Chains A and B, each alone.
Chain A
Amino acid sequence: MPLLKTENLGITFGGLKALSDVHVEINEHELVGLIGPNGAGKTTFFNLITGVYTPTEGKIIFDGKLMNGKKNYQFNNIGIARTFQNIRLFKGLTVIENVKTAFHSSMKYSPFSGILKLPSYWKEEKLIHEKAIELLRVFSLENLINENASNLPYGQQRKLEIARALATNPKLLLLDEPAAGMNPSETSELMETIDIIRKRFNITILLIEHDMNLVMGICEKIFVLDYGMIIAKGVPEKIKSNPKVIAAYLGE
Chain B
Amino acid sequence: MKNNFKYTAFIVLLLLVTYFVFVFLISSKTINNYYQGILMLIMINVMLAVSLNLVTGFLGQLTLGHAGFMAIGAYVSALFTKVSELPDILSFVIALILAGIAAAAAGIIIGIPALRLKGDYIAILTLSAGEIIRGLIIYFDEYTGGSRGMKMIPAYSNFSNVFWIMIITIFVIYSIIHSRHGRAVIAIREDEIAAESVGINIVNYKLFAFCISAFFAGVAGALFAHYNTLLDPNNFDYNYSIEMLIMVVFGGMGSLTGSIVAALGLTALPQILSDFSNYRMLLYSILLIIIMLFKPSGLFGTHEFSIMAIGGLFKGKKSKTKKRGDL
* A residues in contact (CB < 8 Å) with B: 50, 52, 71-73, 76-77, 81-82, 84, 88-94, 97, 100-105, 107, 109, 111, 114-117, 121-122, 124-125, 128-129, 146, 164-165, 167-168
Q: Which of B179, B191, B195, B325 contacts A97 (CB 8 A)?
A: B325
Residues of B within 8 A of A128 (CB): 180
Interchain CB contact under 8 A, B181 and A101: no
Residues 270-327 (chain B) with a chain A CB within 8 angstroms: 302, 323, 325-326
Residues of B within 8 A of A168 (CB): 198-199
How many interface contacts (CB-CB < 8 Å) are there between A and B?
108
**Taking A89-B194, A90-B190 as contacts, is the C-beta distance between A114 and B199 under 8 angstroms?**
no
Stretch from B23-31, B70-78, B80-88, B200-208 forming part of the interface with A: B200-208
The residue among A81, A89, A105, A116 with the most chain B CB atoms within 10 A of its own CB is A105
Residues of B within 8 A of A109 (CB): 179-180
Interface CB pairs A-B, < 8 A, 18:
A72-B196, A90-B195, A91-B190, A93-B186, A94-B323, A101-B183, A102-B199, A104-B184, A105-B198, A111-B181, A111-B208, A114-B175, A114-B180, A114-B181, A114-B182, A116-B175, A121-B179, A165-B197
Interchain CB contact under 8 A, A104 and B198: yes
The residue among A73, A102, A124, A129 with the most chain B CB atoms within 10 A of its own CB is A73
- Min distance, Cβ A169 to any Cβ of chain B, angstroms: 9
Residues 151-202 (chain B) with a chain A CB within 8 angstroms: 172, 175-176, 179-184, 186-187, 189-191, 193-202
Q: Which of B1, B179, B186, B199 contacts A111 (CB 8 A)?
A: B179
Interchain CB contact under 8 A, A115 and B179: yes
In the complex, A102→B187 CA distance in Å?
Answer: 9
Interchain CB contact under 8 A, A129 and B183: no
In the complex, A122→B175 CA distance in Å?
Answer: 12
Closest residue of chain B to A50, judged by CB? B197
